[in-house]
Structure 1
Amino acid sequence: MSWSLLFFLFTSFAFSHAQLTLDYYAKTCPKFDDIVRDISQKKQMEHTVTAAAMLRVFFHDCAVDGCDASVLIKSNSFNKTELDHDMNHSLAGDAFDLISRIKTALELACPGVVSCSDILAAATRNLIVIAGGPHYKVPLGRKDSRVSNLPNVEGQLARVNASVDLMIKKFQPMGIDVKEMVVLTGGGHTIGFAHCKEFANRIFPNADPTMNPILVERLRKMCANYTTNKDMAAFLDVISPGNFDNVIFKNIMKGISVLGSDQILFSDPRTKPFVELYAKDPVAFANDFGKAMEKVSVYQVKSGAQGEVRKRCDAINDAHH
């Protein structure tokens, strides 16, 4: 292969990530890193579920038409947005509150400069680090989407009762292979939580035989009134819920998974070896998770005229004209 062709391929790849750079705000908003880090830290100390909430919003955003903050846009009388899809109803308010706090501070420091999609990507990484996870690079310069449509969500996100086949299929468009899917699922669930209705079928009326009986009893008590108390939720890693670590994989091997879609990762021959790898090797888990997150965070990012920098994260700029 000629050097010129190699150079062309390299520059085409670099360009496909839309001129994202690690120092994108160095001149236009030098306090960007400090503001995102400080506000994220404060919020995580106030509400320890913030990291998990943010990671979920990040995935739900990137999986649908790329990492462009389209999931943050609220519906109006003309348009039902992604947020109104039932799979996004359980996204936690703490994440949206944090994004709003960071956006407000950045608009005071450098008005009209920082996109909501960059806030979402950077704050998610910071919160993962605060929770004990790996630090990974987040190139910046994403633009925010001008569209958010409810029907776009269907088929892009895997539901909690999804088969391994379906999970593999959902991650494929993002260039995520089976090993990366396992590491992202474990990483997403090591600090994650799920509402009772999302796993009720595993404990009522009969228990899923793959689930540890003690866990079944605990969850039955906790979720006894789940049809009336819709906010009731359980941590997905019942052993070390607040820590970003590899314990989730050890749990899966012992049958103490809250979600069926986590448990089946241990029974499918395509995913089982990776569950075993990450259960015994926390360093491999941290490294591979960081690399996979870098990959996800640049998925179908918008640049230049493809998007805008929203003044408010929950509305497109010309929404009221």
Structure 2
Amino acid sequence: MDYSSRGVRRPVLAVAALLLVGSLVVGTSRAREAQPLPVAAAAVGSRRAPERHGLSLDFYAKTCPAVDQIVANVTAARYRDFPAAGPAVLRLFHHDCFVEGCDASILIAPTANAGPAARAPPKVERDMEENRNLAQEAFDTVELAKAAVESKCPGIVSCADVLALAARDYVQQAGGPYYDVKKGRKDSKVSLAGKVSGSLPRANSTVDELLRVFAGKGLGAADLVALSGAHTVGFAHCVHVLGRIYDYRGTRRPDPLMDARLVKALRMSCPSSGGSARVVVPFDVSTPFRFDAAYYGNLQARLGLLGSDQALFLDARTRPLVQELAGNQTRFFQAFVASVDRMGSIRIKKGKKGEVRKVCSQHLLAV
């Protein structure tokens, strides 16, 4: 992809029009996806890198050989009807893996209080502010895919593996690479709200904070830049950009490093106050529904939507990686596949440490 000065101006000139079209209210078929890999970064300190277990491509070769196709049939139908479900599932997979590993703990639904005298049920990951904007389409897609798998291979395939497969399918359906998914994860027996804080990047994280969070998962700078490329599709809620376009670091001015035309276009969609909390804007102002390397070219043109995205080009440690991927979509696809494979192996559950749920939103004993 050419990001010479001529190539950079094209998305800039289209910014206002794209944002007017792309700024949608959550609830329409194309705009229910949300933001980043978000949330607060905490110091890793002496924390050990997460333990990794072996996964395999043929884990279900004898017990459920058609699992990839079963899930793909569901995701393809969902993508036709709800395109925003694609980036929503991809984001759901990231949020799951970054909190206690890829174990489907994010899928556990909150438990309803039995009554006024009943003891309040413990909060789960989905109760936390960082996860409250996760799109319902994503959860619904995984449940539908899991139900289809259960109808053919009951009690065999974990929700964690279904989620990993569905994320892969959506990357491909949006124009990205197809890649083989290693399997063998089990579902977590717990989902603890207290594990969320500090486990995910925030929309305005610095590169230091991002690197610290990724290091805590056993991932490096190259993984950070490659996985951030998931923001080539999907949308962010306006709340995540208000600071950059109205009051950057308390200056009452926009971020001087954001292209002025992008600031103007975003202000049309995201008023400083009184706007709908459900309005979203695209991460990628040039090809918001296409999984491609345009995200990195946007960073070079100061068109990064989130502060945490734009920071990758501004920091000397990550800028060369952004430049490499911006100019070579094949290289981006290769880097993304390698990094998502590493992410998909974070602290997975094996044996008695996990379970295989029948319904992804409920623990096995609760069904």
On whether the aligned pair clears a TM of 0.5, the verdict is yes
Deviation at 1:17, TM superposition (A): 2.0
Q: 2:212 maps to what in 1?
A: 169
CA RMSD of aligned residues (A): 1.5
**Does 2:237 correspond to 1:190?**
no
1:136 counterpart = 2:199: no
TM-score scaled by length of structure 2? 0.80
User: Share of identical aligned residues, percent?
Assistant: 40
Structure 2 equivalent of residue 230 of structure 1: 277
Does residue 217 in structure 1 map to residue 264 in structure 2? yes
Matched, 1:72 2:117: no
Give the 5 Å matches for 1:57-136.
57-76=92-111, 77=113, 78-136=121-179
Number of the residue aligned with 1:265: 312
Distance 1:16 1:63 in 2: 13
Q: What's the CA shift string for 1:25-72, capped at 9, x where partnerless?
A: 222223311111111111111111122111110010000110000001
Which residue is 2:361 aligned to? 314
Paired with 2:360 and 2:204, the residues of 1 have a C-alpha distance of 31
Tell me by how many angstroms 1:228 deviates: 4.8
- 2:70 is matched with 35
Deviation at residue 137 of structure 1 after TM alignment? 2.4
CA distance in 1 between counterparts of 2:258 and 2:167 reads: 31
Asked if the contact 1:190/1:248 (under 8 Å) is kept, the reply is: yes
Counterpart in the other structure of 2:189: 146
CA distance in 2, matches of 1:312, 1:228: 37
CA drift of 1:135 comes to 2.1
SS of 2:137's equivalent? helix
Q: Secondary structure at the match of 1:233?
A: strand
TM norm structure 1:
0.91
Find the aligned partners of 2:189 and 2:205 in 1 and give their Cα distance.
30
Tell me by how many angstroms 1:311 deviates: 1.3
Work out which of the residue numbers 17, 31, 36 in structure 1 matches 2:53: 17
Match of 1:33, as an amino acid? Answer: D
Q: What's the offset of the Cα at 1:226?
A: 6.6
Report the counterpart of residue 208 of structure 1 in structure 2: 255
Residue pairs, 1:290-309, within 5 angstroms: 290-309=337-356
Alpha-carbon separation, structure 1, partners of 2:74 and 2:274: 35
Q: In the alignment, is residue 245 of structure 1 matched against residue 292 of structure 2?
A: yes
Q: Number of paired residues? A: 304
Residue identity opposite 2:75 in structure 1: S
Is contact 1:197-1:226 (8 Å) kept? no
> Which residue pairs with 1:11 in the alignment?
none
Deviation string for 1:7-34 (max 9, x for gaps)?
A: xxxxxxxx9524x221222222233111
Describe the shift of the 1:61–1:32 C-alpha distance in structure 2 as closer, same or farther (beyond 3 A): same
**Amino acid aligned to 2:245:** I
Give 4+ residue runs of structure 1 displaced > 3 Å after superposition: 225-228
1:48 equivalenced with 2:83 (yes/no): yes
Q: Provide structure 1 residue ranges, at least 5 long, that are not aligned to the other structure.
A: 1-14
Residues 283-294 of structure 1: pairs in structure 2 closer than 5 A: 283-294=330-341
| Amino acid across the alignment from 2:232 | T
Query: Does the 8 Å contact 1:136/1:291 carry over to 2?
Result: no
- Show CA shifts across 1:235-282 (max 9, x none): 100100111111011100111111111111111110111111111111
- For residues 209 and 107 of structure 1, the distance between their equivalents in structure 2, rounded to whole angstroms, comes to 53
Distance 2:140 2:175 in 1: 22
Distance 1:113 1:226, change over 3 A: farther
Q: Does the residue aligned with 1:315 lie in a helix, a strand or coil?
A: coil
Q: 1:37 to 1:238 in 2, by over 3 A?
A: same
Q: 1:106: how far off?
A: 1.4
**Residue 225 of structure 1: how far off its partner (Å):** 7.6
Encode CA deviations 1:128-155: one digit per residue, 9 max, x unaligned.
1111112222111110001001110001
CA distance in 2, matches of 1:168, 1:179: 10
Return the letter of the residue paired with 1:204: Y
* In structure 2, C-alpha distance between the alignment counterparts of 1:30 and 1:266, rounded to whole Å: 43
